[in-house]
Amino acid sequence: MTLHMRPIQTSHATPPGRVLYQSQPGEPGREWFVYRPASARPGGPLLVVVHGIACNPAEYVFRMADAAERRGVVVAAPLFAKGAYGQYQQVIDPRSGVRADLALLDIITEVARATDADDERVHLFGVSGGAQFAHRFAMMHPEAVASVGLAAAGWYTFPDAEQAWPLGLAGHPLGVEGVDPAFLDLPWRVFVGERDVERDVSLRKSDALDTLQGRDRLQRARAWVEAMRARGADVSLTLIPDTGHALGRAFERRALADLILDPVAPELSGAPLKAVPQETRQ
Amino acid sequence: MTAENTVSATAAIETFPASRMRGRAGRLDSERLAEARKAFTTRNVDFRQARRLLTGVAPTAGDLVLARVEAVGHHTKLELASGRRAKLYSGDEIVVAYGARYAPDQFHADVPPSLDACDLIAGGGLAGRVIARHARAGRPTRIQPHGLLADADGAPLNLRRFALNCPPMAKRAVVAAVCGTSMNSGKTTTAASLVRGLKLAGLRVAGVKATGTGSGGDLWSMADAGARRVLDFTDMGHASTAGLPPEEILRVANGLIDLASEGGADVVVVEVADGLLQEETAALLSSRAFAARIDSLFFAAGEAMGALAGVQWLNKRNLPLVAVSGLVTCSPLGSAEAARATGVPVVGVEELENGLAAKLCLSVTDGARRAALG
């Protein structure tokens, strides 16, 4: 069946209080879902949530909307369709060279323009494959990032100048200047289900990877956090109880949205920022 | 103890001074009621309240009637409350609701003025009097009413008594409505595809059939596609919506959206029955209050010409039309014609289920979008 459709472009301002889909032309096209709280103020924070291979950006925006409304935080979630962006998890698709980082920078600019949110530095949160993207994006563009949250990444790029990209930073596709060490100065938070220990089909597996990072997402998260701390980075690790790799229910049972947004902005009632412990169970 | 076992078997015959007509409230045999097949339209009824059998009155829409199948015709099966479609035999006793029907592909029927023999006008369980029928529709299944079910005081049991309570305005869900050129233009398929696509996008979806004739088919279709909750106008106390005044149609539609939003649905998919030229459908879609409730509108068309006429009709009313769908999308040529003629995206089942549902339901629908579409 043939689709007869022209792209729907963004309007001048994003109306508040609704989850919306917007897009812009580009190569590939830029697509995202956004929620602009009615409570948002000009220059307020922007949280970008990046989906995993489930390709469910709208779901994350819906799950974040209430908590975002209580804090006046604009939430945007890019859509990185596999057909257009390939292995966006690695930021630059190794086959096509398509750069998801440039797409996200475009999206941030447009969302900030249409919502009056702060686009100088955004808060970045990624889930699973989106967490892979998020930490690699922050390594490449630390100047664009205010904080980074990573949930259940399958594997990581370690802050290791000797290890080849994408396991480490050597031979980065953008060259040695492609990685700014300022990423080590960002506040990082890592989340993983304490039962996320299955070696499921979506988990990348190899002897080398298992040896370097661990056999499952829990082990790999701990190994990466240790490596980042060894380089002096401020990284917290939060284990989500009774949770495997599926984080959807954690949004309901564990108020994951609040956990993600607490450090981004306080509730508008005046609730203070909550301190994030170095390793904790939520 | 079953509900039916509590029905009184000893009530004496008495005169019932109903406001609309004098009637006689007689004994209702509890075992007889227990054995009667109860139609889909009666699924919210508390049959423990049925204590008498009322005769000699004029039925009104929504009244429950105990009837005997005289001759099986067009409808050979009756959809039960469970959704099972039970084969009908002459002599079966059934409980259905009176109602009117407007179905261009089947029957045009009204509520008869008496409890004389009448017709089974819908498989979901509607009793009525056929005024006209489609050339391909067979003679209706003929039923003989025994009487209206009534409570201990002799007051007839009507579906309105068992309507669900509408909650106070729940958290506002996104509302995606589906309407079409006519009956059988692909509205139900479009609605199911939307539900499926939204669910696959990770969203919580509820389904509503706002108008039409009481039958579970459309609801089961949305439930099968992944809707967490499905509701129709029978939940608001109507066996059908044919002939209801516009203000009641609006109350029903908005009440169903509120009910469906309960429990945290992200999106409510609302199917509006029949075509744009049907009186109640036209009234609902012309209502500013309804337009204010819907965020996106899908138009299911049978073919390209119908798509064009429908798009023009909807645009005149400034409705948030986002796509043409339906039977026309089965034809690549028809799809291309419709897209050229309307300037509106034409989308089929596959596109809706594989990513477009969420995009379209959540797309901006203001003047900028129209400008972008050219």
Tens of pLDDT, residue by residue over B241-286, are 999 999 999 999 999 999 999 888 999 999 999 999 999 999 999 9
Distance between A229 CA and the closest CA of chain B, angstroms: 35
Give the position of tokens 């301190």: A275
Q: At what angle do helices B304-316 and B332-342 cross, to 10 degrees?
A: 30
Query: What is the percent of chain A where pLDDT is above 90?
Result: 60
Contact B24, B84 (CB under 8 A): no
Position B248 scores a pLDDT of 96
**Contact between B203 and A18 using a beta-carbon 8 Å cutoff:** no
Q: Is A243 within 8 Å of chain B by CB?
A: no
CB contacts < 8 A, A to B, total 95
Q: How far apart are the C-alpha atoms of B24 and B5, rounded to whole Å?
A: 23
Evaluated on CA atoms B252, B257, B260, B261, the torsion sign reads negative
Report whether pLDDT(B22) > 80: no
Q: What is the percentage of chain B residues whose pLDDT exceeds 70?
A: 91
Residue A221 burial by CB count (10 A; 0-12/13-18/19+): exposed, middle or buried?
buried
* Secondary structure (3-state) at B327: helix
Give the rounded percent of residues in chain B with a pLDDT score beyond 90.
85
Give the long-range contacts of residues B351-355, CB within 8 A, separation 24 or more. B351/A1, B351/A3, B352/B190, B352/B193, B352/B194, B352/B196, B352/B197, B352/B325, B353/B193, B353/B196, B353/B197, B353/B200, B354/B197, B354/B200, B355/A55, B355/A81, B355/B197, B355/B201
Res. A247: pLDDT tops 80: no
Whether A20 sits inside 8 A of B362 (CB atoms) is yes
Beta strands in chain A (DSSP E): 19-24, 30-35, 46-50, 74-78, 122-127, 145-151, 187-193, 234-240, 279-281
Tell me which residue in B335, B358, B368 faces A58 most closely, judged by beta carbons: B358
H/E element holding B283? helix B279-286
- The DSSP-derived string for B191-207 is HHHHHHHHHHTT--EEE
What's the one-letter identity of residue B77? K
Residue B6: its pLDDT value, please? 33
Residue A275 per-residue DSSP state: P
For residue A123, which of A191, A30, A186 has the smallest C-alpha distance?
Answer: A186
In the prediction, which pLDDT does A178 show?
A: 65
Residue to substitute from A55, A62, A110, interface B, most B β-carbons within 10 A: A62
Do residues A189 and A235 touch, judged by C-beta distance below 8 A? Answer: yes
Please list every residue in chain B whose beta carbon sits closer than 8 Å to the beta carbon of residue A1. 329-330, 332, 335, 348-351
Q: Is B190 exposed, middle or buried (0-12, 13-18, 19+ CB in 10 A)?
A: buried
Q: Is B292 exposed, middle or buried (0-12, 13-18, 19+ CB in 10 A)?
A: exposed
| Distance, CA of A226 to CA of A188 (rounded, Å) | 12
DSSP string, B153-189: TSPBPBGGGGPPPPPS--SPPEEEEEEESSTTSSHHH
- For residue A16, the chain B residue with the least C-alpha distance is B364
Measured CA distances, B248 to B19, B98, B187, B245, B253 (Å): 22, 18, 23, 5, 9
Distance from C-alpha of B219 to C-alpha of B192, rounded to nearest angstrom: 9
Map out the domains of chain B with their CATH numbers: 4-161 (no CATH), 174-373 (3.40.50.300)
Q: How far apart are CA B271 and CA B188, in angstroms?
A: 7
Distance from CA of B8 to the nearest CA of A (A): 48
- Which residues of chain A lie closer than 8 angstroms to B345, CB-CB? 3-6
For A152, phi then psi, to 5°, come to 55, 45
Q: What is the model's pLDDT at position A177?
A: 66
Residue from the list A6, A21, A60 with its beta carbon closest to the beta carbon of B372: A6
Residue B170, pLDDT score: 63
What ipTM did this prediction achieve? 0.86
> Which residues of chain A neighbour B266 with C-beta distances below 8 Å?
19, 62
Edge-first strand listing for the sheet containing B296-300: B229-232, B205-209, B267-275, B174-180, B296-300, B321-325
Which of A11, A31, A60 minimises the CB distance to B364? A11
Return d(Cα B189, Cα B194) in angstroms, integer: 9
Find tokens 């089929």 and name the residue. Answer: B348
Q: Which of A154-168, A240-254, B38-52 has the lowest mean pLDDT?
A: A240-254
Which of A253-262, B84-93, B138-147 bottoms out in mean pLDDT, i.e. has the lowest? A253-262
DSSP code, position A10: P
Contacts A81 to B, Cβ<8 Å: 355
Mean pLDDT across the stretch A202-224? 88
Confidence of residue A15 (pLDDT cuts 50, 70, 90): confident
Q: Which of the listed CATH numbers 3.40.50.1820, 3.40.50.720, 3.20.20.70, 3.40.30.10 matches domain A19-281?
A: 3.40.50.1820
Distance in Å, alpha carbon of A18 to nearest chain B alpha carbon: 8
DSSP state of B366: S
Chain A interface disruption, residue of B331, B359, B360, B363, most A CBs within 10 A: B359
Average pLDDT of span A143-167: 92
* B358 contacts A21? CB cut-off 8 A: yes
Reported as a single tens digit per residue, the pLDDT across B227-239 is 999 999 999 999 9
The residue among B293, B235, B234 whose CA lies nearest residue B267 is B293
